[in-house]
Structure 1
């Protein structure tokens, strides 16, 4: 991956030609910033020069697709050309249709981002099984943690896995066959802690401890995500992101910090390198 943009460390993994690295954003609970995180990562990778495509698995809400639509409309209206991921909405009838769509799109891109709906259905499960990198955004609260594991009410120690963690465990077992047959990497599961800015310190420490304990049991990594900021919601109608410097007007200090959060998140995902001679090395 080009080092000049985000100063990312060298990686020993590379994206194989015709086989995009699949990044699936999945959480069965709504309101965690899942789609917002997905679209910002997609735009960030586009700025790095990667060919990025995305699949929106929620044909009703279509948050990622609507964001890209808004972005394209803004670029046309202002006469701009900015890095923009492609996006399609999945409207198939079977999980086989989804797998076929994934294989069709990934043949022409470096990274394929799939945004799961905030619910459990066969398509969401199939997408998780296809993930090279699985990203689960969550708010810093035990309400969201309950999706992964249940804790004791007094000690806050993890008592047992919850249904979503068990679902991921099963998906990993199924994927192990795919790893060998299709020469795909082992699934890397990352829990992203969003909206940490307004969480009380004692509760944050308890969550940190519980997440560390659970990560050792289940095998996921934990990283910081995007803080609670109005700017993310304000930019949706235009489809712009904090990486679109020079097109957002005057930005305050908090917005500059938010941009750094996004860059740090992309770095923490530890994605493979891609090789493109026309890669853009500078973030506009």
Structure 2
């Protein structure tokens, strides 16, 4: 198993457009800003996390594909970003063909776990895995490797329906692949305080899942939406905007939960 100091958190939701990659980038940046050493593994073939951290496609000499096929190590594939203490293993379109390449291999769901098991000497405090917006072999690899899953959930009408499907998926992975997988927490994204429906969704999710739901609400925020086009996390693009401040609060909650877990 990867060293306990390498806390592996998979950020997943089979629904697209919920702020998954935005959460991965900005949570990682906030953790790095307070001195944690952080690695993002971009497992989405679209590579939005890589682009959002300013990693040009021409600079992605090695990627998470190379990690999963076993040709290179984490140390070889990781790239430093403009954020101190934050590295990323970028994504390329090669990932689209991975499922066909390894689907017959007996260890096909454990490829990422095997790669991350070798990171003990690299001393990352947190490894965040950004998943594609679907449940496929890439997401299975992420969940098989992780200690816990963080679920971004958009404050919209169908949120609870999609969440119940995802929680069942996590239970299936726990039963068949990774018995120690836990739910790190549910983070409510794209919250609009002017929208009564958004507040109702917040209330419903908190009623159903209680303490699993983070107190921090990530608001809809233009500056957060603009930041990826500049190849920057929102926290670097505009630290004072409401979205950046919310992700800093979320990072504090994540660390607080980790301390409580270790003390338990």
- In the superposition, the TM-score normalised over structure 1's length comes to 0.67
User: Within the alignment, does 1:189 sit opposite 2:177 as a pair?
Assistant: no
CA shift for structure 1 position 101: 2.1
2 CA distance for matches of 1:193 and 1:207? Answer: 9
Name the count of aligned residue pairs: 220
Q: Which residue does 1:235 correspond to in 2? A: 227
Partner residue of 1:62? Answer: 47
Stretches of structure 2 lacking an aligned partner (at least 5 in a row): 59-80, 103-107, 260-264
More helix per residue: 2
Work out whether 1:258 is the aligned partner of 2:252.
no
1:53 aligns with 2:39: yes
Q: Runs in 1 of length 4+ with deviation above 6 angstroms?
A: none
Q: After the TM superposition, which residues 105-184 of structure 1 pair with which residues of structure 2 at under 5 Å, given as runs?
A: 105=119, 107-108=121-122, 109-148=124-163, 162-174=164-176, 177=179, 179=180
**3-state SS of 1:265 partner:** helix
**Which SS does the other structure have where 1:233 is aligned?**
helix
Higher relative contact order (CA 8 A, sep 6+): 1
Name the CA shift for 1:171/1:102 in 2 (closer, same or farther; >3 Å): same
Q: TM-score, normalised by structure 2?
A: 0.71
Q: Which residue is 2:253 aligned to?
A: 268
**Deviation sequence 1:67-113 (CA, Å, 0-9, x none):** 22349x9xxxxxx9641521114645332322222223454111101
Helix, strand or coil at the partner of 1:243: helix
SS for the counterpart of 1:272 is helix
RMSD: 3.0
Once the two structures are TM-superposed, the CA of residue 268 in structure 1 deviates from its matched residue by 1.9
Deviation at 1:43, TM superposition (A): 1.1
Q: Which has the larger radius of gyration?
A: 1
2 CA distance for matches of 1:66 and 1:257? Answer: 22
